[in-house]
Copies of this chain bind each other. A is one copy, B any other.
Amino acid sequence: MVLFFKKELLSVTRRIGLRDVARMAGVSTATVSRTVNRPEAVSPELRARITSIIGELGWVPDAAARALVTRRSGTIGAVFPTLTHGDFARATGALQDELARRGYTLLLACSNYDSRLEYEQVGKFVERGVDGLILVGEAHHPDMAEFLARRAVPYVNTFVYSPLSHGTCVGPDNRRALYRLTNYLIDLGHRRFGIIAQSTRGNDRAAARLQGIRDALSERDLAVPRQHFAEGQWSIAEGRGLYRQLLAARPAPTAVICGNAYLAVGALLESQHAGQAVPGDVSIVGYDDIEIMREMPVPMTTVRVASDEVGRRAARHLLARLDGETASDAYECDAEIIVRNSSGPPRLA
């Protein structure tokens, strides 16, 4: 009686598997596996019968077992510095979409701009058997490159583009984007620049952008005095505070370049608050284009990065590599300067 009960329990409890389908269809497990993975290799009638039995039983192949034998997990890991940020969130969406379309699943982690944490998370992902990785930037933990090479895990660095980069990269050329933006302002006649930079700690993109500004300025024999330089993260409140600082240092800059959209919005709000005319008294520009920038009372000039294209491209590249195709090593994404009303010629002194 007890035995009977246990048996019943077992039969209720036991997960149905490939063998159950095979038994029910009166074929070998190999044939069932084939109808799922290479249907064309199975005779139409048999295929039909097996397919219907699969449906009846509601069987779904066990991913772990499959991964164990194929050495492919069908997953891609992505480590972003943060998710609460417009561009990364958009990229994540596009990435996931593109991966799902091809039957891959996205594993996600956040590094908080900490390369050590990034390295650890990559480690976890590799343990999990990801088939590829999406990273941000190209300044990783010193051991990263070797680690991934040894494990033969393909990866792509996103949101960066440098033609002579070692690994694969998909993104805008950060340096050049700000080099151009700065030149645009110089050409408008600006000479006194202020910078509210995004912190370059663990952020090579921000560093590259800063370099772009400096390169453009020094080419024209310009520079940003210490009191016109400030560094923040990415909040509007910070933007306000830092802008107030810049404003206090006389003579005030006629053009302020902000490291990201939030800092820029904060700067503009504070400038308005201080009663400045924009762009008459000061031009304020940012990087990255979030909706509020074009809806502000003074719509803002900024650089628009095709973040979703970054995500989509990165996914495509990785999948192509997994399919054995040799894909190009670096892909540059648009970083378009969107000129709106927050920038204009400086008022004549």
Contact = CB atoms under 8 A, between A and B. Distances in A.
Interface of A: 58, 60-65, 67-68, 73-75, 82-86, 89-90, 92-93, 96-97, 100, 105-110, 121, 123-129, 150, 235-237, 240, 262, 265-266, 269, 272-273, 291-292, 295-297
Given A92-B108, A96-B110, A107-B106, A235 B291 contact: yes
Contacts of A82: 93
Q: Return the 8 tightest CB-CB contacts between A and B, nearest first.
A: A64-B67, A64-B68, A236-B295, A108-B108, A60-B127, A63-B128, A83-B89, A84-B89
A60 B147 CA distance: 12
A295 B126 CA distance: 42
Copies in the complex: 2
15 contacts: A60-B126, A60-B127, A63-B128, A64-B64, A65-B68, A74-B128, A83-B89, A83-B93, A84-B93, A92-B108, A93-B110, A96-B109, A106-B108, A235-B291, A269-B296
A84 B90 contact: yes
B96 A64 contact: no
A291 B63 contact: no
A236 B126 contact: no
A133 B113 CA distance: 27
Contacts of A269: 295-297
A105 B106 contact: no
